Structure formats: structure tokens, C-alpha cells
Amino acid sequence: MCTAIRFDDDHDSMYFGRNLDWSEDYGEKFVFAPHDYHYQPAFNAEDKNHPVLGIGIIVDDTPLYFDCANDAGLAVAGLNYARYAKYAQEPVNFTTNVAAYEFPLWVTRNFTSVDDVQEALKNVTIVAQAINKQYPVATLHWMIADAKRSIVVECDADGLHVYDDPVDTLTNQPPFPQQMENLGNYAHVAPRTQKSVKWGNVSLATNQDANSSEGLPGGYGSVARFVRAAYNNMHYPTQSGEKANVNRLFKTLSMVSVIEGTAISANGEFEKTLYTSCFSGATRTYYLKKYDDETVASCAMSDFDNSANTLQTK
């Protein structure tokens, strides 16, 4: 279970973030890949050396990013897409082959805009290759965002699909078009409060505040979280300044965060929101808040040595 959103501030700078919901952490931290870091793609993909900062782990000198962004303000998050994700089993000739584990890194090392990524994806094969035996291939789909818009990338049994994301929101399965279609069931939901309504000749006075949002689903499942996150993200007023926008992101994602004891995975373990992250396109700063510590940690790209050639962590 996971949720991701994006939005812009009053100067059209992007803020992008996600909840990572799972039963155990991997020791994830801030990971910075500088310009001269030698990224060795799994197949025939390129590396155009954009510096990347995100949340993840390092395996075999490769950053496995759960979410990340580059110096151009392009951001990516991978979210669980169980039962639906179907990658190619082998690389395909005459296409750019990208291993599933390196997809966020490949996107952020090579591109500066969603438009450029979308164009490149017309000739990309995402391959079901693990980085090693310890870390099996994760079944994911991805949200990619910049200051103008976001897209969703899904690999299904019938191939790779790229969807525009008009609500700047992503959770998990089912496929994104079904999530969007389901939003129509909540078209009546609004932040306003009606003073009274008529049922025939009977006038009914409301007896609670914000009653027009009463129909929002309250569960922790992917479909319910998608509706709730999209509603809150699309209705939150535009904010001014870094502090207000970071606060907006954390407040919005708190509406879909999972607390321990409320969701049990198939193997009987409690799932919870392990962390919430936020990337500021205005300052190229990453923010991180973990489940067991409400303190918000932060790192800017300028806090790292971009002239180095090795991965750096904080």
C-alpha cells in the first residue's frame, strides 16, 4: 500500500511526495547520486548524468530508489501494483531495455521533463530482472511528475501503458483507468455545506458540518485511498512559500496514512506508513518523516558533493 501526490505552489513550483506503506523497512535513507557517479545500466540504457536525490537503499553500488528527483525538478515514485504488473521476461531488440529495479534512476538520470520521458517510453521495454538474489523483482507502477503535470506508467499483461494523471494522485491496483473511472461515483462530494434540502414536500435541515463530503470512503484499501487523496489534493487551496507547501503535502498524505494494527498483510504482518517524503521543486530539497519519529528531516541537493563520483547518504 502506498500513496503519491503532486501539486504546484503560487509560483508554479512543484511539490511531490508519497507515503510508503509496508510491514518492514529496509533501512532507507537519503541517497544522492552525483553527476559523476558511474551508473551501470542493466542493459542498453543511457546515463546522461543528472544528479539525483531520493529515498532508498544502496545495493551493489546501485541506488534502489523508492522515490527520487533530479536537478531539473523531475520526480518519480514507485508504488506497489500487485497482481497486475507484468514486465518483459527478456530484453527486446531495438528498444531501450530498463530493468524494473533501475527505472526511477534511469528516468531521473536521463530526462528533465515529463514530456521527454513520455516520448522516450514509446520505445522502452521494462524487464523483470532483479539486481541480485536477495532482492526479487518488485511489482510496481510509477508516477512521474514535473512542474507542469504527472503521468502514470504501468506494465500490464498487454504491454506498457502511459496515462496522463489529471488528479496528480496514485495509489495501487487496480489499473489507473479504473481508478479514474471510479472517481465518477463521488462526483457529488464537495467541501460545501448545504443548509437544507427538499425531499418532495419535506424540508430536511442538515445537522452536521461539511456534510457534502460525507460520502468519501474511509478505508485503507487502494481504491478508497485514491478517492480520498485525490479529493483532498484537488481541493486544498494553493499555498505560498516552502513551509506552507511542505505542510500541505504532509497534511494531505496524513489523510491516507496507515497506523499500526489497522491493516494486516497476507502473511499476517501489520502494514503501516513507514515514511512520508516530500520533494520541493522550488528549493530542490527532500523532506522525510518516519513512522516512529514525527520530526521532519531534510536535505537539499546543495548539501551533497556533486563533484564526487560516489554515492552519498544522510
Tell me the catalytic residues: 2
- Rounded CA-CA distance 298/282 in Å is 14
**155, three cell numbers:** 506494465
Distances (CA, A) of 272 to 95, 256, 257, 267, 268: 38, 11, 7, 14, 13
Cβ atoms of 108 and 74 closer than 8 Å: yes
- Rounded CA-CA distance 37/51 in Å is 8
Q: At 206, is the secondary structure helix, strand, or coil?
A: coil
- Rounded CA-CA distance 277/20 in Å is 8
Residue with cell 516552502: 242
Please provide the DSSP assignment of 21-75 as one string: EESS----EEEEE-TT-----SSS-------EEEEEEEETTEEEEEEEEETTS-E
Please give the backbone phi and psi of residue 301, each rounded to the nearest 5 degrees, phi first. -60, -35
Cβ atoms of 141 and 170 closer than 8 Å: yes
Residue 26 CB coordination number (10 Å): 14
Cβ atoms of 64 and 47 closer than 8 Å: no
Terminal CA-CA length for the chain: 26
- Rounded CA-CA distance 245/10 in Å is 10
Length of the chain, in residues: 314
Radius of gyration of the chain (CA): 20
